Amino acid sequence: MPGLGGFGAGVGKLPGVPSVLPELQALALRVDERLDALLPAPDRRPSNLHQAMRYSCLAPGKRLRPGLCLASAAAVGGRESDAMDAACALEMLHCFSLIHDDLPAIDDDHLRRGRPTCHIVYGEAIAVLAGDALFALALEVLATMEASPEVRVRALQILTRAAGSDGLVGGEVVDVEAEGSEPDADTLHYIHTRKTGALMAASCEIGALVGGGSPEQVAALGRFGLDLGLAFQIADDLLNELGSEDQLGKAAGSDRARGKATYPALYGVERSREMARQTVDDAIRELGTVRDTGLLRGLAEFSIERVA
Amino acid sequence: MPGLGGFGAGVGKLPGVPSVLPELQALALRVDERLDALLPAPDRRPSNLHQAMRYSCLAPGKRLRPGLCLASAAAVGGRESDAMDAACALEMLHCFSLIHDDLPAIDDDHLRRGRPTCHIVYGEAIAVLAGDALFALALEVLATMEASPEVRVRALQILTRAAGSDGLVGGEVVDVEAEGSEPDADTLHYIHTRKTGALMAASCEIGALVGGGSPEQVAALGRFGLDLGLAFQIADDLLNELGSEDQLGKAAGSDRARGKATYPALYGVERSREMARQTVDDAIRELGTVRDTGLLRGLAEFSIERVA
């Protein structure tokens, strides 16, 4: 599937649940079209920086966070056009965190989404700065999108909190610090809810917000996203333990090799599978307050179908 | 002056212009008090990250950007309390850019504000992430400060643009790329207006905005800040060429040693001095639309008094 790497064949998903893959792929194409328009042109000065931003942000990927944002907007009755810019901002923020996490000083990853990482292609200086510029652009997009000032400010509050020292960045720090030490359950939960859960929760909350959802719906979808993020991260741990490099877009077993704290390392493979399933069920129970839950349910199943 | 390093003795300032130093120092103390409250507690998890954020952001410094923000608010009739959180956000954003610029992959600086740089003390991984977290916190503070949603959104638009690929980050990229090559006037102007000018312009604009200034006042103070930033950077180039390590808080001649594009390298010392003076005069002419210009004029003179 050119341009859509990251979609692995679903293995062992529940019988009777239709795959969300075609719908997510269709959303991803529309997200990429808008991302292409929002990102600075590759020949604009400084062109090296803008090319690096585009290289990382338009790399093949599932666009799961934009998908959650758009699906959450739809679930509360909003239109796709209300949520598209916010969806792109979430992908930019995700890319910023991937670029920085992959740096030699942090995870030292050479492969991401099946391609060489940003610092391998553009060098470390540009990678640090391309991450910074994507972060700035993500928030600029939220600050300028078509929505009331109240909605934009609230979206910015949600995203800056999710990104900061008690969110994404905090999770990455604790993850790095936990390397090579015996993982404990609290630390692992801290890492996974922040590294992955925080931004998925924010994606759902912001989608519900720009879609015109009530405060209760926004909060419920935030809890849905947090659970889904945790389930996704458990599944990712499992895939990293069991999967092939082809499925992962990065080296298999690399987490274990560097002594990363993972669910299978702490709980074993079978118990981790059960926990992922349980967390998805918890997530789905949060959908009681919204009307159209098809795509969100599908995304929740998708988060673990690779390892179910 | 313990806790206020970065204030050098003024050399050769215009006769009859009272030094702004005592007023700026007094502002800096109040800014530091609020920064201390806004930054996460040093023992909060992840404590290493929070300590690194505090180490860099509370390091002795002139607090010139907060000073510009507070002075701009005052110049349009606003109260200090209206602008204090925005002033702190500007210092946080400045610190984020210093931490990242100092990284081994970028400027590889070991000394900043007279102390070892963040990555020397906390390691490179934490330095990257502490910069990221300060960036997130700066914008979270703007998104949550006491002001109307309209004002907060506008402030966020100004700051994210100033930080991004056509602002701070873009300037740093072109600066890094220009190393070791013959500087040309266009490139040098690009670097200095973005690396220093963009955030100083944003500091003045945001100050005027939260202080209740008219759109004309906000725009005029933005131009004032841009000129002042350029003047400050020319003075910084001159100081780096001529000054002592003690005055600089970093190694003297280090820019020249690594082939950085600087004003003295392109125009010579005397012509650079004249250009700095001229740029300050341009800045001061922008103050026609605001009422209380004493502190802003003083800050403009201060930007070059070290080398006038």
Nearest chain A residue (CA) to B42 = A165
Phi/psi at B206 (nearest 5 deg)?
Answer: -65, -40
Are the C-beta atoms of residues A218 and A205 closer than 8 Å to each other? yes
pLDDT of the residue at A241: 83
3-state secondary structure of A16: coil
Chain A residues touching B128 at Cβ < 8 A: 100, 103, 105-106, 128
Strand partners of residue A112 = A115
Which of B54, B108, B153 to mutate: most A Cβ within 10 Å?
A: B153
Report the distance separating Cα B158 and Cα B162, nearest Å: 6
Residue segments in chain B with a per-residue pLDDT below the cut of 70:
1-18, 244-259, 308
Cβ–Cβ of A128/B105 closer than 8 Å? yes
User: How distant, in Å, are the alpha carbons of A62, A140, A187, B39, B102 from that of A81?
Assistant: 20, 18, 39, 37, 41
Report the distance separating Cα B148 and Cα B154, nearest Å: 10
Cβ–Cβ of B124/A144 closer than 8 Å? no
Report the distance separating Cα A219 and Cα A205, nearest Å: 7
Residue recorded with tokens 């001529």: B242
C-alpha distance from A108 to closest chain B C-alpha (Å): 10
Interchain contact A268–B (C-beta under 8 A): no
3-state secondary structure of A118: helix
Q: What is the pLDDT of residues A233-251, one digit of tens each?
A: 999 999 888 875 555 555 5
3-state secondary structure of B113: coil
Nearest chain B residue (CA) to A42 = B165
Predicted ipTM of the assembly: 0.91
pLDDT of the residue at B240: 85
pLDDT of the residue at A256: 59
Using the Cα atoms of residue B89, residue B95, residue B101 and residue B103 in order, give the sign of their dihedral.
negative
Domains and CATH numbers, chain B: 21-305 (1.10.600.10)
Could you tell me which of A71, A2, A77, A1 has the C-alpha nearest to residue A31?
A: A71
Q: What is the pLDDT of residues B250-304, one digit of tens each?
A: 555 666 556 677 899 899 999 999 999 999 999 999 999 998 778 999 999 988 8
Interchain contact B147–A (C-beta under 8 A): no
Mean pLDDT of A225-230: 96
C-alpha distance from A129 to closest chain B C-alpha (Å): 6
Confidence of residue A153 (pLDDT cuts 50, 70, 90): very high
Interchain contact B81–A (C-beta under 8 A): no
Are the C-beta atoms of residues B24 and B74 closer than 8 Å to each other? no
Q: What is the pLDDT of residues A187-223, one digit of tens each?
A: 999 999 999 999 999 999 999 999 999 999 999 999 9
Report the distance separating Cα B70 and Cα B86, nearest Å: 9
Residues B156, B158, B161: CA angle, nearest 5 degrees? 100
pTM of the predicted model as reported, rounded to 2 decimal places: 0.92
DSSP-assigned letter for residue B4 = -
C-alpha distance from A101 to closest chain B C-alpha (Å): 9
Residues B157, A94, A159: CA angle, nearest 5 degrees? 45
Report the distance separating Cα A124 and Cα A129, nearest Å: 9
CB contacts under 8 A, B 16-45 vs A, are 40, 45
